[in-house]
Amino acid sequence: MAVERTLVIIKPEAVKEGLVGEILARFERKGLKIARIRDGRVDRALARQHYAHHADKPFFEGLLDAITAGPVVFAIIEGPSAIAHVRNLVGATNPIEATPGSIRGDFARELPFNMVHASDSPETAEEEIRRFFGEGA
């Protein structure tokens, strides 16, 4: 089985609540590898680029406010079917719809504060990894 890479961003609300270790541990317990990790912030210009596909939606400004509210943790997660596994572990975008046992189901309470971002396809993953880790990451 081919190894995939995906990007996870642990959002400011999760960092503030001290959930970084718990979130990363869930990926590791699934047998996925944390290939690279760094902390940082997402400025508003980068947030606009990252969420450009939502620019015409009424919740766009709220997304920008949420992701720029504080420090984040960026991680490249690797493993067989990593994208699908990570998306499953993360849970549905809306915390109300997220399955208990998923990261969002256990920790998130309301949109846009859903604790994590996870790439949704191989193409998106590679684009987002380049965006947050640079070329050659």
Residues making up the binding site for ATP:
11, 59, 87, 93, 104, 114
Give the three-class secondary structure for 19: coil
Catalytic residue among 50, 53, 85, 117: 117
Say if residues 8 and 37 touch (Cβ distance below 8 Å).
no
Active-site residue, 117 included: yes
Residues 6+ apart with CB under 8 A from 93: 104, 111, 114
Q: Which residues are catalytic?
A: 117
